[in-house]
Structure 1
Amino acid sequence: MTIRVNRRTALGLGTVATAGTVLGTAGPASARSGDPEPGLTTEAAGSPERVAARVAEAYERETARAGGNWQAYISVAGAAGGAPVVAVADAPDQRLEAYSVNKIAVATAVLDKVDRGLLALDQRLEVTAEIVVPGGDGIFSLDNAYPSSVTLGHALTALLTVSDDTAVRLCGLVCPAAELNSILVAKGFPNTQVEPVANPNRFFLGTSTPQETHDLLRAHVAGTVISPSSTAFLLDVLRSPIAFTDGIRRVMSSQERARVATKAGWFGTARHEAGVIFDPAGAAVLTYALFADGQADADDFGATHPAVQARARLGRILIDATAHLSGSGRRHSPSARRPSNGG
């Protein structure tokens, strides 16, 4: 196999096992569709190092095609529960505006308070006309029926699926910025912080780094950051059919989408996405944090944006490349979701 180490994907890997020594040229189309490459057994084709090499090459190709600036961290589950194999470490410690990807962190802090008995998912929050973000993303700005009230669970679901901006303010009512940041620091995420404003119950979504966002997701999958019930709630919402589908999950079947927990963030020229791909048994097989900005079409927030198109192509490759790889750690099976015809 040709040895091919790229500086961007090899930078900052530290002591974690890496794909740097096995990066090779792409296999034929059959390999990229989840089938073993000619001359390789299924076991060899699905080795973590082989998968990481394929992911690294795809990342290089797709980000170069999209242009702009990219910062990312992607890892593949190690063999037999071993250390993860790093496929991509592209400026992994760069602290940047995370935008709505940080809604995962907001939900983490709120759910931590639920775990400690300070909040409850069924408690009601008042939705006033003043708290609704005019023209913001999501659903709260659409119904024109205020004042009203919703449960905290409803607000968190809107926060993580349709990325509702008003839901951020509702979370701020029960978890002010200073408290939210202190919770994240205590859990080991000092760079993942919201930005306080004059009103203590409001904040901008703040900053993170690719590796810290990646590590927060891995902590959730490992069950080390919040309780099992809160972890199940968060992952179930992020894997639901109405969660973000324009990027990583776009070119996937319904069953494949249910294996991906993801959260996107967009503002200005930034188009970010972070999440976890699970194997069919529900064990995490790949974790990604992708931050992009500076591409063309800054006013396009849809699926035709170059960075979003790159993530869609990359998502198909990621799920195919991991087809023969078993995940590691706890299993997280999604809840069954089926369309209804009313009645």
Structure 2
Amino acid sequence: MDTNVNRRRVLGLGTVAAAGAVLGTTQLAHAAEESGSDTPAADASAAARRISQVYARETAQAGGTWSAHISVADSAGNLIPAVSERADEVVEAYSVNKIAVATAVLDKIDRGLLTLDQRVDVTADIVIKDTDGIFALDGAYPSSVTLGHAMAALLTLSDNTAVRLCGLVVPAAEVNEILRGKGFVHTQVVPVANPNRFFLGKTTPAETHTLLRKLVEGTLLSAKSTEYLLNILRSLSAFTDGVRLDLTSAERLRVATKAGWFNDGRNEAGVMFSADGKPILTYSLFASGEFAGDAAVNKDNYAATHPALKARTKLGKTMFRSVEKLTATTARTYAAAPYRASNGG
């Protein structure tokens, strides 16, 4: 079967996109451009159609193997699928699963077993000497930080030492037990010999999407923990090289996101909010394999110039522009505080 036609069938594209899938990516790109991808969509269904077109175009150009799930909430809060491609495939989550790790920690906080202000020890042997995060840079051990500080570093700077600090209070087996108890049988970390350490493990696009939806629906964690987690994920200190790259500062505050990268994997998942704080779009994007361009350059490139991140940037702008004027009648709102710059002092 022709792979372009098969992708169109999986994505459930509209007639314009279907024609583009048959004729090739050039025609598909032209159709997507004609659809007005930089203007707000009239409703959730129109937004979903536009997003599906741009997703097909950009992922085809980027290359690699994509597994994804994207939905748009209509005015009543019902989810309209925009993309569902290999959504139930078990994939390497990499640092996207740091949301799941934070969920396990916050679950214990909600049950009164931990507190954000309790301290965890940062010893020389626990610090991972990689180039992500801040703990490998401060050069002052032993020391201690609050659990809240560790999770802020975990989710904004994607600090891998922070994973180990979370593991001190929620061992690998307990992380997995908590996640299974919430219905996430594929979103699991991988234990190692030390019970307090683990690899970040796997997930499926559908499960990550569901985790994010449960979060914003208020059924994953307490209201306080939900606000805490979302405020970190949409802060301007959080990941900006993908979906949020071409957005303004105010627009970035309407996107809670977490990226993950390792080996050939380039992943990102998150939620976009309406102007009045309603969760209006949820995305779960996992890509790996052989991407377009120079394989030797792509191999060690985790920046915005990588083909997969370029695709996510273009898709991110389309997603945001498509839904920026939409809202829903649902009760829960998560309006972000406006950014306030400072010059010290």
CA-to-partner distance for each residue in 1:254-275, whole Å, 9 max, x for gaps? 0100000000000001000000
Question: CA separation in 2, counterparts of 1:46 and 1:187?
Answer: 35
The aligned residue for residue 61 of structure 1 is 57
The aligned residue for residue 38 of structure 1 is none
2:159 to 164, 186, 189: 164
The aligned residue for residue 39 of structure 2 is 34
| Secondary structure at 1:250 match in 2 | coil
Question: CA separation in 1, counterparts of 2:313 and 2:328?
Answer: 22
Question: CA separation in 2, counterparts of 1:46 and 1:324?
Answer: 8
- Whether the 8 Å CA contact 1:9–1:90 is kept in 2: the answer is no
With the length of structure 1 as denominator, give the TM-score of the two structures.
0.90
The aligned residue for residue 20 of structure 1 is 12
Question: CA separation in 2, counterparts of 1:166 and 1:23?
Answer: 48
How many pairs does the alignment contain?
Answer: 322
With the length of structure 2 as denominator, give the TM-score of the two structures.
0.90
2:215 to 206, 212, 220: 220
| AA at the equivalent of 1:72 | A
| Secondary structure at 1:32 match in 2 | coil
Matches within 5 A, 1:284-323: 284-294=279-289, 295=291, 296=295, 297-323=298-324
Change in 2 beyond 3 A, CA 1:23/1:226: farther
The aligned residue for residue 187 of structure 1 is 182
- Whether the 8 Å CA contact 1:74–1:289 is kept in 2: the answer is yes
How well do the aligned residues superpose, as a CA RMSD in angstroms? 1.7
Per-residue deviation, 1:221: 0.5
Per-residue deviation, 1:192: 0.3
- Whether the 8 Å CA contact 1:10–1:88 is kept in 2: the answer is no
Change in 2 beyond 3 A, CA 1:10/1:259: farther
Structure 1 gaps of 5+ residues are: 12-18, 36-44
Q: Is structure 2 residue 274 aligned with structure 1 residue 279? A: yes
Question: CA separation in 1, counterparts of 2:13 and 2:142?
Answer: 59
Per-residue deviation, 1:21: 7.1
The aligned residue for residue 333 of structure 2 is 331
The aligned residue for residue 49 of structure 1 is 45
Question: CA separation in 2, counterparts of 1:29 and 1:123?
Answer: 54
| AA at the equivalent of 2:337 | S
Question: CA separation in 2, counterparts of 1:69 and 1:259?
Answer: 28
| AA at the equivalent of 2:7 | R
Per-residue deviation, 1:323: 2.5
Question: CA separation in 2, counterparts of 1:8 and 1:21?
Answer: 9
1:116 to 111, 116, 140: 111
The aligned residue for residue 101 of structure 1 is 96
- Higher share in helix: 2
- Whether the 8 Å CA contact 1:23–1:57 is kept in 2: the answer is no
Per-residue deviation, 1:119: 0.3
| Secondary structure at 1:316 match in 2 | helix
Per-residue deviation, 1:108: 0.2
Question: CA separation in 2, counterparts of 1:79 and 1:245?
Answer: 28
Per-residue deviation, 1:164: 0.2
Q: Is structure 2 residue 69 aligned with structure 1 residue 73? A: yes
1:197 to 186, 189, 192: 192
The aligned residue for residue 8 of structure 1 is 7
